[in-house]
Structure formats: structure tokens, C-alpha cells
Structure 1
């Protein structure tokens, strides 16, 4: 800057030197102020840049933290979803196992009831067969007695007729009583069988309802 001033001073007339020197001095002061302002501006700009760089660095750290947090949240959500799926699968397996156990128990009980019903039928069938044999034997005996009485009635005296007739009536009463007892016994067996069949049907219906509710 001073070299420029010297060059300017040599190139001008002596009469104008004093004015030019004053102007140049003022110009130098203005230039110095501009340089100082420029330096201040540069310092301010540098401070602003450093502040911006620090802010950018902080923002990058915050963004990194947000990314890490997002990853952690995603991992937590995935783990939670996986646990929920496992829990649902476990519940489904337990429900399936429970239904299978109930179904197996129902089948076993149903089979047991069927066997019991069949056993009772066979038992009643055997009892009825025995009763029919007894009835047949008694009928044969009664028929034999009736034939004997009829045969003897023609051979005995009239005064014994009433006694023989009474004996015949007693035989008929015995026969009637036996038939009535047999009917009662058959009816009781029938009622017992019907009651048992009704109970078995009720139990089967209850088991079916339980199985349907569990499913």
C-alpha cells in the first residue's frame, strides 16, 4: 500500500502533493478500517463456520443415536412379535393336545359303555332264555298234571270230584301266578335295561357337548 502511495506522489505535481497526501492518508485510514472489518468478518465467519461444524457434528451424533434407537426399537419389536408367536403356538398346541385327550377319553368311555351295554344285553338274553326254559318246564309239568287229573277224574268217585276240581283250580292259579311273576320279571328287566340305556345316552350326550365346547 505504501509503495502505491509513493508511486502516486512521484507521478503528480508538487502543487498537488499536500492535497494528495491528505487524501491518501484518509484513503489509507479507510483501507485500514476495511481491512480490520474484513479481519473481523473473517474471524466472525470462522467462528460461525466452527459453530456450524460443531452443530453439524452434534446433528450427526443425534442422527446416529436415532438410527441406533430405531434399530433397538425394531429389535425389541421383533423379539416381542417372536415371543407372541411362540406363545400363540404353545397355546394352540395345548388346546390341540387337550382336545385330543378329550376325544380319546370320549372314545374310550364310549367303547366301555358299548361293551357294558352289550354285556347287559347278553346277560338279560341269558336270563330270559333261562326263564323261558323254566316256563316251558312248568307248562309241561302243568299240562302233565292236568292230563293226569283229567284221567283220574273219570276213575275216582263223584264225592272226590270237588277236591280234584279244587286241586285243578289251584294248579291253574299257580300257573297264572307264575305267568304273572314272569311278566313282572320281564317288565322289571325291560325297565332296568331302558333306564340303563337312557343313562348311557345322557352320558354320551354330555361327553359330546364337552368335546364340542373344547373344540
Structure 2
């Protein structure tokens, strides 16, 4: 199955912008979404999978290839899925061979029960940064002109006075830059249009 074939998209992953996650298009399609997530302990893969009821030998080739990739590269894999597993224990009318799963009995406000888990990883935050090309240089300069007086004669007569003046000037330049250059966040690369 190619990425986003015509038909229903039955799998997705929602990730906060503050998480450094990258879409794994090779292992994603209408029924499988996979991302690589950076953490302080190393990368890991998250995948959300839908296994159609009529599929005879789940999981799909895409999922098997993802598991192989994860195994070969030693990258931890966390998979959440709708396996269409039927069992009377969680409200089904029948039991199929996929039905041997442990699930939460909590109400999910859906026709599905849920499997709950917590990932205990130290995720790497995407830190905001300032892009100098986005600075409003006119406001930057005007702000500095209002706050910096030219040195008076004989005030820079020794290294201590020069150091103090440089520190004050540097501090004011930094403050002006922070006021007039907005914070930016790293954007994730998008798939090229071709």
C-alpha cells in the first residue's frame, strides 16, 4: 500500500511541536503511521497501526518491515494498534484468533477499550532560537540610541574602565536584540511536493 492511497486513513499520530519527532514515510500508509522520536537516551520509534479485520495474516508487510528495521538498528519500537481483536471478555460477541490481548476495563467513550501505557523517556525539547534575519533592525538601533551615551573624554583611560564600558554595551545590545528579534521554533522538514 502506498502512502495515502485513496480510501480511509485509519491511523495517525499526534505529536506536540515541542517533541523532536520525524515522520517515517517509508513505514507509513493509510493503516500505519510511524515516527522517530529523539530522547536523551536515544531515538525510539512510535507507530500507530490499524489491522483490518479481513486481513488474513496480520501484521501487514509495512509493519513487519518496520519491526525488522527497528530490530536491525537496535531502535526501541512502541506500537499502538487497533488489531480488530474480538473477545467476549471485553464486550465482543465472539472470539477470534487476535483476541488474546490484555486491555483496560475503563470506559473509553468509544466502541473500543483501550490499552494504557506511559513512556518513561527524557524527550529532547526543541529549544526556541532567534533568527537574526527576522530582527527589526530599525527598532533595534533606535532602542540602543536612546540608551547609549557616547563615552566622555578620559573615561576610557584604563583597562578596567574599558572592560566595564564593553560589558554595558554588550548587555544593552543583547537586550535590544532579544526585544526586537522574535523567538522561532525549528520546523520539521516536510515531504517535497514531487
Structure richer in strand, relative to its length: 2
TM-score range relative to shorter protein: under 0.3
Give the alignment's TM-score, normalised by structure 2. 0.21
Larger Rg: 1
Q: Which has the higher contact order (CA 8 A, sep 6+)?
A: 1
Structure richer in helix, relative to its length: 1
Give the alignment's TM-score, normalised by structure 1. 0.20
